[in-house]
Amino acid sequence: MNILDSIKTSVLTPIHPAGIPFIALFFILTIIIGWFWTPLYYIGFTLTLWCVYFFRNPSRKTPILSGTNKNNLIISPADGTVIDILKITPAEDIGLPEGKWTRVCIFMNVFDVHVNRSPMSGQITYKKYIPGSFFNASLDKASNENERLILNMDTENGNKIAFVQIAGLVARRIICDVDIGHSLKAGEIFGLIRFGSRVDIYFPSEVSVMVLKGQKMIAGETIIGDFSKNAKPVKEITDEK
């Protein structure tokens, strides 16, 4: 499916409420500028369609396991591409206990769906907003230097995870609709980042990692990790250098 086909499909796809003011603004400006010079109608109409495309919010079917393992899957919080998988000691700002944790970094370009979804079911126990720079979100230093919002969760299977919304080179707005004490279900929408960004997720280092670097993610659907004891990782993850 090419970009034009995707835009056509997006017209019939639900839109995240955060996008409605932008779509309305683009539409009104299209009418105004087109009144003065007809060719500008086409430019404005194209930009309006792109805005609809960017704020699309397609429905997703979140996978679950059966029986005692039903809450053991870690689901991708974002659409995009896995750019890094590493066992690291998180920065103090992340709010996790000391020790090694697996970090999976997902980069979202301007053509990806930017709605973020909860990776597991559980309760938010920590929230921290950190002002910062706006480096390209694909760079490793973006995790520690870019503007970001950190959430920690006590999951229903009794573990802790963290996920971080990170602003990128052109992103200037992180939207998070949850606070400490809020309960989320796996795959439930919790926020959005505008115009190119990244989401990092941290989970215990012993959890089996089910994705590879370079793999395309679908928020609310792609399985990133599995707490189940019999889960087989797709690749052994190395420690940070």
Positions marked catalytic: 197
Question: DSSP letters along 66-86, please?
Answer: -GGGTT-EEEPSSSEEEEEEE
Beta strands in 109-159 (DSSP E): 115-117, 122-130, 148-155
Q: Report the relative pairing of strands 183-184 and 174-176 from DSSP bridges.
A: unpaired
Distance CA 98, CA 240 (A): 15
SS3 category, 196: coil
User: What's at 40, amino acid-wise?
Assistant: L
> Among 51, 62, 63, 61, which Cα is nearest to 16's?
51
Alpha helices by DSSP H, listed for 55-166, are 142-145
SS3 category, 142: helix
Distance CA 180, CA 127 (A): 6
For residue 96, give the DSSP letter. P
